């Protein structure tokens, strides 16, 4: 029915699924259900071990390396069982000193059971497939995943824990609580989609999304375009290139708050551009974008571009510098005009840089918050609200966690909708390149 390698892969996935269930139950989301789920996964994993054994029908310990590995897993499993047993009441009554650590031990208990089972399974499966593989003299999937380069895997554990902990578990936690009526503190009282209904019937949220769309589209197009243009100009063996580069990059060294304040002053009618032009004699000149609900987002856009474009330019310049000068010479001899060389030869060669830049710009767009706070605080009215501000305000000022979580979940969903096809294209294509 299955190939051996497929079975092995399924086994590893089951162990991982069990781990995810365990993690979810530990953070307190429906602990009873997820604990059962975890044991279900582990049971199926055990069935898979038997299936794999049924196919190969050998349990051997014929190489020294293998014996060491199996021994190691068994030892770890005994250690886990020991920890588990310390959490049991009977053992604690024998060793009263353990009672002091009761709380910690109780938290560790489910992890210890999980690890004990999984380690025994690892030892078992290694003795089955490891035997086969040592005959073929080539390590199989299990051995490669579990044992190969063990030290680097151990070194990666903190990173993995952080990324799993923060990105996956915290995300799941947020999504889960967006279906509850949590207010100041997270609660587990389900109210279905009510938070989302409220979110999508709120004018402020609509305004935020509209603003983000305008800001995002414009800032993507303009910062790419202006950044590339500046880089291309600087690449023409410009004099004082270093000076220009420094000037363009300076704003990037400022924080968004400072940028926001600076631009608030520049755009302020009382002491900014309007004042200056009026003092030149044009008394009827009006320029106060930050007080005009229709164009306030463009005022914020200007500040964002001013700050971000220099950095984009530097990335692009680095990309342009990476292009072999002989390519330019060849294009000149072929009689290709410069703009055409840029579009048809140079920009396609800079694809990796463009992708990096795109990701950086996109991340900047999604998280735009402080610029708005510093310049307009979302005003006038709600006309310069953005989603990140909506989330922040509901979570920390309005003390409505559920609403904030619902909004951030919507942001996450929209990012995923954009990102998944993009990543798919990106990684899917690498195979053919």
* Chain residues that interact with another protein, rule: CB under 8 A: 324, 326-327, 329-337, 340, 344-345, 348-349, 433
Identify which of residues 39 and 354 has a Cβ nearer to another protein in the complex.
354
Given the complex with another protein, which of 137 and 433 has the nearer CB atom? 433
Burial 302-328 (b: 16+ CB within 10 A, else e): bbbbbbbbbbbbbbbbebbeeeeeeeb
Q: Which is nearer to another protein, 303 or 350 (CB)?
A: 350
Closest distance between another protein and the C-beta of residue 351, in Å? 8
- In the complex, what is the shortest distance from the CB of residue 326 to another protein, in angstroms, rounded to a whole number? 4
Residue 43 or 344 having the CB closest to another protein: 344
Minimum separation from the CB atom of position 430 to another protein (A): 13
Report residue 279 as tokens: 């003092």
Select 418 or 425, whichever has its Cβ closest to another protein. Answer: 425
Closest contact distance (angstroms) between CB of 336 and another protein is: 5
Q: Report how far residue 237's alpha carbon sits from residue 283's, in angstroms, rounded to the nearest whole number.
A: 44
Give min distance, CB of 233 to another protein, in A.
Answer: 20
CB of 328 to another protein, least distance (A): 9
In angstroms, give the least distance from the CB of 235 to another protein: 16
Of residues 193 and 343, the one with the C-beta less far from another protein: 343
Select 89 or 237, whichever has its Cβ closest to another protein.
237
Angle between helices 241-249 and 203-234 (to 10 degrees): 170
Give min distance, CB of 333 to another protein, in A. Answer: 5
Compare residues 36 and 332 and give the one whose CB is closer to another protein. Answer: 332
Q: Which is nearer to another protein, 110 or 319 (CB)?
A: 319
Least gap, CB of 433 to another protein (angstroms): 8
- 173 CB contacts (<8 Å, ≥6 apart)? 27, 29
């Amino acid at each position: 029915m299955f190939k051996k390698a497929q079975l092995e892969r399924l086994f590893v996935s089951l162990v991982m699924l069990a781990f995810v269930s365990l993690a979810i139950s530990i953070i307190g989301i429906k602990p009873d259900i997820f604990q059962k789920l975890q044991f279900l996964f582990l049971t199926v994993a055990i069935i898979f071990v038997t299936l794999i054994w049924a196919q190969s029908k050998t349990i051997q310990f014929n190489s020294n390396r293998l014996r060491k590995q199996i021994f190691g897993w068994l030892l770890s499993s005994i250690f886990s069982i020991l920890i588990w047993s310390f959490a049991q009441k009977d053992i604690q009554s024998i060793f009263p000193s353990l009672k002091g650590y009761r709380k910690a031990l109780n938290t560790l208990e489910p992890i210890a059971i999980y690890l004990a089972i999984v380690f025994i399974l690892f030892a078992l499966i290694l003795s089955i497939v490891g035997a086969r593989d040592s005959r073929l003299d080539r390590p199989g999937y299990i051995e490669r995943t579990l044992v190969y380069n063990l030290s680097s895997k151990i070194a990666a554990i903190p990173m993995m824990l952080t990324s799993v902990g923060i990105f996956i578990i915290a995300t799941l936690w947020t999504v889960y609580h967006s279906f509850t009526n949590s207010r100041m503190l997270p609660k587990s009282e389900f109210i279905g989609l009510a938070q989302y209904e409220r979110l999508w019937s709120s004018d402020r949220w609509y305004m935020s999304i509209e603003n983000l769309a305008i800001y995002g589209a414009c800032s993507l197009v303009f910062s790419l375009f202006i950044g590339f243009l500046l880089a291309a100009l600087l690449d023409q063996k410009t004099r004082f290139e270093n000076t220009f580069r420094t000037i363009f990059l300076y704003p990037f060294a400022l924080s968004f708050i400072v940028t926001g304040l600076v631009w608030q002053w520049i755009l302020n009618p009382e002491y900014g551009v309007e004042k200056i032009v009026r003092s030149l004699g044009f008394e009827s000149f009006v320029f106060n974008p930050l007080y005009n609900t229709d164009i306030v987002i463009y005022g914020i856009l200007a500040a964002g571009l001013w700050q971000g474009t220099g950095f984009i330019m530097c990335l692009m310049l680095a990309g342009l510098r990476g292009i072999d000068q002989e390519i330019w010479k060849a294009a000149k001899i072929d009689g290709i005009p410069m703009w055409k060389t840029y579009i048809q030869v140079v920009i396609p060669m800079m694809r990796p840089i463009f992708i990096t830049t795109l990701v950086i710009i996109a991340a900047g767009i999604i998280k735009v918050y402080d610029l708005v706070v510093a310049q307009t605080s979302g005003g006038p009215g709600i006309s310069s609200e953005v989603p990140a501000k909506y989330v922040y305000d509901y979570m920390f000022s309005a003390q409505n966690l559920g609403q904030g979580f619902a909004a951030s979940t919507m942001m996450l969903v929209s990012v995923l909708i954009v990102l998944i096809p993009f990543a798919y294209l990106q990684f899917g294509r690498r195979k053919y390149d």
